[in-house]
Amino acid sequence: MQVDYIVVGIGLAGISFCEQLRTNDKSFVVFDNGSQQSSTVAGGLYNPVVLKRFTSVWKSKEQLGIALPMYHALEALLNIKLDYKIPVYRKFASTEEQNNWFAASDNPSLSEFLSDTIVKNTNAGIEAPFGFGEVFKTGRIDVKTLVNTYKDHLLKDHRFFEEGFDHNILKTDPEAIQYKYIKAKYIVFSEGFGVRGNPFFKDLPLVPAKGELLIIQAPELKIDFVLKSAAFLIPLGDDLYIVGATYEWKDLTNKISQAAREVLLEKLEKLIKCPFKVVDQVAGVRPTVKDRRPLVGRHNTHKNMFVLNGLGTRGVMIGPYVAQQLYNFIENNVPLEKEINISRFR
């Protein structure tokens, strides 16, 4: 079999790059053994504002300008619903936070994203005497549905191999990549936390961070917005909500923990005052980077070998943006932005 690309990993990074290949009529195959769960357990929220500090997310306008059209194209391709438009309400803890919000909403880079009016709390199930600030141009991507449906789509086209990738039998030369019976011009590794077992890119400064979420049922809560405070609440419909998220740097397994559950429940009980029950708990390891920028670029020695990784906690926004950057770098010789290029660590 001969293709243009081999892609290893089918989380948000891998799907974003595959979509660059598909829309540019490049042939490809994908390997993934399902060992990485950071994408499938993600909250899927896209939000252009850092709500802890009331600052703009890096390249937020550019990211949304590329990401949202990609998800809409995927909805049409896969015949599924992925993009759920929903506002984000940031709970204020004090008058000082309200004032900081007003100052931020006057900033030209943030004014289109932040409401300059305080939303009063009228929900008896929420403790919020200082009200909320509303963020515009936000929503949720159903990442789990996307990943599972995209895999099925590739399987039907005989482009997906549901198996681990054996780096030790990969053969490279300046002209081609050879893996088993597949020959390709290029290979792109989008393995998430799994890149630590990749001998070609294992020295990249990836900082894995385990995250856990709860799914709760709260029939009396009845909110149609994402609620952000010390924790976040994302409505799923049918009185179900995602509660997240935790950060853990020692236990890097995909197993849920009682410690994370207790942390999330403590935060939740300070946020809402209505009855609820936990119906599920999920865990995954995020591929984060110390400077909070993705890891994108070419291998030092093997010039037809590339990496696309380190999307962190904002993968639904940044994944399509950096995937386009990598595609243009490979195919059109467009330089990568210095902030994402792995050469910044050399």
User: Residue type for 120, please?
Assistant: K
Q: Among all chains, which residue has been given the structure tokens 């984000």?
A: 88
CATH class of the domain whose range is 2-43+144-205+291-345 = alpha beta
Name the CA dihedral angle for 110, 116, 117, 118, rounded to a multiple of 10 degrees.
Answer: 50
Residue pLDDT, tens place only, 98-133: 999 999 999 999 999 999 999 999 999 998 999 999
Segments making up each domain of the chain, as ranges? 2-43+144-205+291-345, 81-133+208-287
- Residue 238 tokens read as 């049918």
CATH number for the domain running over 81-133+208-287: 3.30.9.10
pLDDT, one tens digit for every residue, the chain (346 residues): 999 999 999 999 999 999 999 999 999 999 999 877 777 677 899 999 999 989 999 999 999 999 999 999 999 999 999 999 999 999 999 999 999 999 999 999 999 999 999 999 999 999 899 999 999 999 999 999 999 999 999 999 999 999 999 999 999 988 899 999 999 999 999 999 889 899 999 999 998 889 999 999 999 999 999 999 989 999 999 999 999 989 998 998 989 999 999 999 999 999 999 999 999 999 999 889 989 999 999 999 999 999 999 998 899 999 999 999 999 999 999 999 999 999 999 7
DSSP per position, 297-314: EE-SS-TTEEEEE--TT-
Whether this prediction's pTM lies above 0.85 is answered by yes
DSSP string for 187-244? EEE--GGGGGG-TTTTTS-EEEEEEEEEEEE-TTT---SEEESSSEEEEEETTEEEEE
Q: 190: how many CB neighbours lie within 10 A of its CB?
A: 31
